Structure 1
């Protein structure tokens, strides 16, 4: 069951770049599987088991990018992403929410499109998958994977 769920999440992430965004009901389907939430809600949630959930978040694009951090790579591996799926995430982009900064893994195929459509300090609606796994202290390690975006 867990592998089917994770495979579905990975498929959805790849579908975002594989299918035309103006395709039949693409945004409606994505909106149904990614409810609007806030960063505070995600940060404060305590998972009971390893999971991956989709959400929409309004953030601000900073324009900076870097190589995928080892922390995010380890978390992606911990929830069961396969090596072939990890290859789609080579970089992280910097986004801001209020005064906080978040380096979010973005599919490599999506980065160029994002950089063409957004300017530094421009608001963006991100379609994300929240990866989280509990630790022994009942605190969760979390990462947000960017699956798609809309310019606000």
Structure 2
């Protein structure tokens, strides 16, 4: 279950034959995200388990099961900023149960990212996914 925006990224990936081009595309996706306000770069928004500096700031519109999930994020590494943008495309706009229903590993695997990221980057993606899923789970528990 992927959002239409993630499907666009998957389609774009299918037209890029070389991994160097795919990396450039991911980096461009990251450059398209708005930078975080520096006051949001605090320990509470920092994601542990990433080799790079990563901050994720959740936004829930509404409450409980009917909330709509969104987040802002930033990294000090270009490729990781792009991975944040890919995760944003995967989750933004879903309700909390929808976020939990997404199999991020499977969806990212469709892009081949599972095979082309370093072990450290893969660990970082898992840490970001865990943080986002935790936020969604907390929203469901508010019901």
Q: TM-score, normalised by structure 1?
A: 0.34
Q: Give 1 or 2: higher helix fraction.
A: 2
Q: TM-score, normalised by structure 2?
A: 0.36
Q: Give 1 or 2: higher strand fraction.
A: 1
